[in-house]
Structure 1
Amino acid sequence: MVNLILFGPPGSGKGTQSANIIDKYGLIHLSTGDLLRSEIGNKTPLGMEAQKFMDQGLLVPDEVVIGMISSKLDSNPDARGFIFDGFPRTTAQAEALDKLLALKKTAISVVLSLEVPEEELVKRLLNRGLTSNRSDDANEDVVRARIVEYHNKTAPVADHYAKFGKFKKVKGEGTVEEIFGLLSNELDTLVGQPA
């Protein structure tokens, strides 16, 4: 089983490249945002627990999110692997995820980080803001603050996986196809032939 974390700041192309990776390699997309919405919508015990925190304007505790991830892993026993989206965002989450995966007799295979210069990210996000109707993409100060926040929060997670030789930087500039080619170079040896 191959477990991939795709990293990258806002505007780095994670969404586009995640879709490409899922299509080519048959990995299951594990988005914590989607999981939360699904669990709440299905009124599962974990979903109801998460709803209590969200109703108070609080972040859903890591152990609840880990429980949801565990359920998703259990419900896909024949999966080739998973691509983690939006998790882990902190070192504590990375450590909790590592423990969970160890219990499932698997582990994170690689963390691929899309590297894009800040000015290019700002340009991409402001362009996206023209059509996305996302207010956080329309204001340059907000865009820059999001990029700083990303680097502050995720740098320690990158360091965590780098300790185990699992962190790789991938150039996130060029055409979608060129960037996907670079990601594929990293994944072909791990995943084997596409699904």
Structure 2
Amino acid sequence: MRLIFLGPPGAGKGTQAIRIVEKHRIPQLSTGDMLRAAVAAGSPVGVKAKAVMDSGGLVSDEIVIGIVADRIEEPDAKTGFILDGFPRTLAQAEALDVMLASKGLKLDKVLELKVDQSKLVDRIVRRAEEAKAAGLPVRKDDDPEVFKTRLQAYNRDTAVVAPYYEQRGQLTAIDGMQPIDAVTSAIEKALSGS
């Protein structure tokens, strides 16, 4: 099962991805984690990425796609994976399709968590308060101003990715404003095709 999770920051992608990982035993792939691992491993694409990052530049789509291509060859990803937070742009979505096709693979489903963005800041503030109350560290991106900047970037760059997959008949929209368990149930229903 090869999946992509789309949706703005705070939509619940990470929460739902963890549940899918546990149930279906497929890895959740974060491009940031993969990038750091490739650099640490000194792989050819990791060496390229390190050179770009050391010079203060942004890693190109070509390098990111190379890292994803390498990662999905690892044993734990052979039966599937979840891409969370990638692709972030239309160019990345197109490059991902080309790379998967070159391996004889395709995406099984693209899930978009649809949320009321005006209520997301409240959700983020509540998440930060709950973390503090539980004695847990508060995520840096749970600061309302940082969050608003991330949301603007999502709307500017990433919101165009959903229509790309919708035109290909791969997108399933899920109401992300439901309670967490209801969102999980809707996702499972979408994955089972019922």
Pairwise same-fold verdict (TM > 0.5)? yes
2:172 partner letter? K
Residue of structure 1 in register with 2:116 after alignment: 117
Could you list the structure 1 runs, at least 4 aligned residues long, displaced by more than 3 angstroms after superposition.
Answer: 129-136
Correspondence for 2:71? 72
Q: For each residue in 1:13-63, what CA deviation from the matched residue of structure 2 results, as whole angstroms up to 9, or x when unmatched? A: 111100001111222222111111111111222112111111122111111
5+ residue gaps, structure 2: none
1:149 aligns with 2:153: yes
2:36 equivalent in structure 1: 37
- TM-score norm. by structure 1 comes to 0.88
Tell me the equivalent position of 1:108. 107
Aligned amino acid, residue 9 of structure 1: P
For the pair 1:187 / 2:191, whether they are aligned, the reply is yes
How far, CA to CA, are the matches of 1:107 and 1:72 in structure 2?
A: 15
1:163 aligned to which of 167, 174, 186: 167
How many angstroms apart in 1 are the aligned matches of 2:24 and 2:139?
Answer: 30
**Structure 1 contact 98–107 (Cα < 8 Å) conserved:** yes
In the alignment, what sits opposite 1:193? none
Q: How many positions carry a matched residue from both structures?
A: 188
Deviates more, 1:121-130 or 1:101-110: 121-130
Amino acid at match of 1:72: R
Provide the C-alpha distance between the structure 1 equivalents of 2:97 and 2:49, rounded to a whole number of angstroms.
Answer: 22
Q: State the TM-score, normalized to the length of structure 2.
A: 0.89
Q: AA paired with 1:169?
A: A
Aligned partners of 2:127 and 2:142 also within 8 Å: yes
Provide structure 1 residue ranges, at least 5 long, that are not aligned to the other structure.
Answer: 191-195
1:183 aligned counterpart, secondary structure:
helix
Over the matched positions of the two proteins, sequence identity in percent amounts to: 39
Query: Cα offset for 1:97?
Result: 0.4
Conserved 8 A contact 2:111-2:171: yes
